[in-house]
Amino acid sequence: MRKPIFLSILFAVCLLFSISNDYGQGRPIPPGIREADKLTNPPIEAPLPPRTRPRDPGQLQEEAAELLRLSAGIPAQIERVNQGQLPKDLSDRLKRIEKLAKHLRSELAP
Residues 104, 66, single domain; the answer is yes
Q: What is the pLDDT of residue 68?
A: 96
Our count of domains for the chain comes to 2
Rounded distance, CA 104 to CA 65, Å? 11
Is 89 within a domain? yes
Rounded distance, CA 108 to CA 56, Å? 11
User: How buried is residue 70: exposed, middle or buried, by Cβ count under 10 Å (0-12/13-18/19+)?
Assistant: middle
Encode pLDDT of 55-110 as tens digits. 788 999 999 999 999 999 999 999 999 999 998 999 999 999 999 999 999 888 76
Is 73 within a domain? yes
Domain carrying residue 27: 2-40
